Amino acid sequence: MTYPARRVRRPFPWHIVVFLAPAVLIYTVVMIYPILSSLWLSLRGQVPGSPEHFVGLANYQRLLGTELYAQPLWNAVRNNVVFFALHMLVQNPVGLLLAVLLSFRLRGSALYRTLLFTPTVLSVVIIGFAWKLILNPAWGVQRSLLEPLHLGALDQPWLGLPGSALPTLGLISVWQNIGIPMLLFLAALVRIPEELYEAARLDGAGGWRIFRSIQLPLILPTVGIVSVLTFVGNFNAFDLIYSVQGALAGPNFASDILGTLFYRTFFGYQLQAGDPYMGAAVAGVMLLIILTGLLLYLVTVQRRLTEVEL
């Protein structure tokens, strides 16, 4: 008579917990706790002379329902969408083009890669101050650079006009951060087997055909990752706008985005008193927008990419 073999119970992998615990602890303290604390703060309020108390969604109703807060909020959301669109339509395609050119292993490609990535590692304060010096219409170097090229008509106060301030800041941000998508696309391109290129050339495919039929389909997951990083980064943007235009994001709030609106609402600025509870509500709206965008990406784009890979 034979007995079934007893199943040996594996010990709990405590070594995994030991390795993950420091990273989880640091991430919780630095990221998770501040987010939850900010959300909890947005659900509370305080009347002068009384203790802090729970108010539910009253701060969000006030944010969306009163002109004092709703008009700046929708203006900031609209500007943030424009800011994000500039990066998606300019930064990522140009970064992809540069990555494709660098993937050919041309002479000096390492030098070009370093020069293109250098602005990314510079301080945002330095970037903002340098471009303010360049674009200043009174004593900047913009005029002396344009006039020898007979482009004096472009000598305009780009940061001082409501219609051009935000696109100008967007292009400055593109110039600074283009190295990130370039390197991500380049890392994906160099992983493509050389045999695919050789087979395509034997079939008479040119450069555009190789890019459209081989390179682009194989780097689509990276395109999705870059798009997500661009979306999250732009709807969290603050430092460049603040360093160039200040907390008021002028002229006349033409370059105001959610980050600068949150700063003014939470901490106050000049004649505007700070309100931590309403500032936390603005942060809650920012989190909701980012989570909604990520959810739409996972449900639509990521699912299709997974189906293609399978």
Q: Is residue 4 over pLDDT 70?
A: no
- Counting the structural domains of the chain, the total is 1
Is 117 part of a structural domain of the chain?
Answer: yes
What is the pLDDT, as a whole number, of residue 307? Answer: 60
Question: How confident is the model over 289-298, as pLDDT tens digits?
Answer: 999 999 998 8
Q: Is residue 166 part of a domain?
A: yes
Average of per-residue pLDDT across 237-265: 93
Asked whether residue 62 is assigned to any structural domain, the reply reads: no
Residue 174 lies in a domain: yes
Q: What is the mean pLDDT of the chain?
A: 90
Helix (H, G, I), strand (E, B) or coil at 46: coil
- Structural domain boundaries enclosing 262: 67-307
Please say if the pLDDT value at position 239 is more than 90: yes
Q: Is residue 290 part of a domain?
A: yes
pLDDT number for residue 72? 95
> Percentage of the chain with pLDDT > 70?
95
pTM of structure? 0.89
Residue 217: inside a domain: yes
Residue 251 covered by a domain: yes
- Cis amide prior to 119 (ω within 30 degrees): no
Nearest to 284 by CA among 308, 305, 304, 265: 265
Q: For 250, phi and psi rounded to 5 degrees?
A: -80, 180
Write out the two tokens for 46.
Answer: 């305080």
Average pLDDT of the residues in 105-118? 86
Does any domain span residue 15? no
What pLDDT is attached to residue 2?
A: 60
Question: CATH number, domain at 134?
Answer: 1.10.3720.10
Q: For 10, phi and psi rounded to 5 degrees? A: -75, 140
Residue 8: pLDDT band (50, 70, 90) is low
